[in-house]
């Protein structure tokens, strides 16, 4: 009997130890702007600080933030735009409360090939180029040549935000080419001397491209309040976060270590304490 009790005690102790050391897994879905670099690097820093957490991150566009949260297939979401009224109504209809958290500030940089002489555009010229009413670089002071326009795809929050901030919600030109992410746009513009596109601030100085000033203001963190195409980045949760989600998001939005990661990637951190 004593032996059996001893064995049971050992088994119970092992079970408690296993539970204590069990790794929490956080599933994060949504924006490519946040999910390609910023959130993965935050996750690595968070884990290196001693937090026993694994992350599954799917960066497939801001729209997927809301579809996955609604379906219950993500612990929290990432979005480079604010939730739409129609999306918010979907949560309300399902009896779910969608909560918004500011993850940082981004500046949507208009980028051109580094060999292009045009390094400054007015906001009206940007609108004209992306809506298709301006089609040749000679119309904006450059060398003659057809402008090749690269944009994000329609599931991207950046696609919609740029359309709102830069184009007064006018439709994109029919000849614009849709890309899956920031990296792809930067690559295409770097390969094409007549190329132009837009990317999150973290991608504005990739090899082969150069950011263009808009209305005389370059997309740099110090110019966030003056740059015409600045925007908030967001995390979303269903209800107020709790447990490991709350712990991570609080750290990601307020800690100085997190702020350093966000700023190293190329965004502007929320107020750090």
258 class by beta-carbon count within 10 Å (0-12 exposed, 13-18 middle, 19+ buried): buried
Nearest to 181 by CA among 147, 214, 155, 212: 155
Sorted by sequence, the CB contacts under 8 Å of residue 225 that are 6+ apart come out as: none
Name residue 27's beta-bridge partners.
56
3-state SS, 130-170, equals HHCCCCEHHHHCCCCCECEEEEECCCCHHHHHHHHHHHCCC
Q: Which CATH superfamily is domain 109-223 in?
A: Periplasmic binding protein-like II (3.40.190.10)
DSSP 178-192: EESSHHHHHHHHHH-
Q: Are strands 177-179 and 213-214 parallel, antiparallel or unpaired?
A: unpaired
Walking along the chain (273 residues) 10 residues at a time, the average pLDDT comes out as 48 42 87 95 97 97 97 97 96 98 95 98 98 98 98 92 96 96 96 97 93 96 90 96 98 96 91 56
Residues of the chain with CATH 3.40.190.10: 24-105+232-265, 109-223
The whole-number pLDDT of residue 225 equals 85
Its pTM surpasses 0.85: no
**Cα–Cα dist 190/196, whole Å:** 9
Q: Which tokens sit at 71?
A: 């379906």
- Distance of alpha carbon 143 from its chain centroid, rounded? 34
The whole-number pLDDT of residue 6 equals 46
**Cα–Cα dist 203/201, whole Å:** 5
The whole-number pLDDT of residue 12 equals 47
Tell me how far CA of residue 241 lies from CA of 76, 80, 188, in angstroms: 9, 19, 39
Q: Which tokens sit at 113?
A: 């090939």
Alpha helices in 53-122 (DSSP H): 62-71, 85-93
Angle between helices 243-254 and 256-265 (to 10 degrees): 70
Fold adopted by 24-105+232-265:
D-Maltodextrin-Binding Protein; domain 2 (3.40.190)
**Cα–Cα dist 236/77, whole Å:** 5
Sheet containing strand 98-107, edge to edge, reads 53-59, 24-30, 76-79, 230-238, 98-107
DSSP at 217? B
Query: Residue 270 in 3-state DSSP?
Result: coil
Q: Which helix or strand (DSSP H or E) is residue 49 part of?
A: none
264 class by beta-carbon count within 10 Å (0-12 exposed, 13-18 middle, 19+ buried): middle
């Amino acid at each position: 009997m004593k032996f059996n009790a001893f064995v049971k005690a050992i088994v119970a102790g092992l079970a408690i130890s296993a539970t204590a050391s069990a790794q929490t897994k956080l599933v994060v879905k949504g924006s490519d702007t946040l999910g390609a670099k910023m959130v993965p690097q935050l996750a690595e820093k968070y884990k290196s600080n001693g937090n026993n957490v694994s992350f599954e991150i799917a960066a497939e566009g801001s729209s997927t933030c809301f579809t996955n949260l609604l379906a219950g297939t993500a612990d929290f979401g990432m979005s480079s735009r604010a939730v739409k009224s129609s999306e918010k109504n979907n949560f309300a209809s399902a009896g779910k409360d969608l909560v918004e958290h500011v993850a940082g500030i981004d500046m949507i940089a208009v980028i051109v090939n580094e060999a292009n002489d045009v390094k400054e555009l007015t906001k009206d010229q940007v609108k004209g180029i992306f809506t298709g009413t301006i089609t040749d670089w000679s119309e904006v002071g450059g060398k003659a040549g057809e402008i090749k326009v690269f944009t994000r795809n329609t599931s991207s929050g950046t696609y919609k935000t740029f359309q709102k901030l830069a184009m007064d919600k006018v439709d994109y030109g029919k000849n614009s080419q849709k890309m899956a992410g920031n990296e792809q746009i930067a690559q295409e513009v770097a390969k094409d001397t007549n190329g132009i596109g837009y990317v999150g601030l973290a991608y504005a100085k990739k090899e082969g491209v150069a950011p263009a000033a808009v209305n005389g203001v370059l997309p740099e963190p110090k110019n966030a309040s003056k740059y015409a195409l600045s925007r908030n980045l967001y995390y979303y949760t269903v209800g107020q976060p709790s447990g490991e989600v709350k712990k991570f998001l609080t750290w990601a939005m307020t800690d100085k270590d997190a702020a350093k990661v966000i700023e190293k990637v190329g965004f502007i951190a929320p107020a750090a304490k």
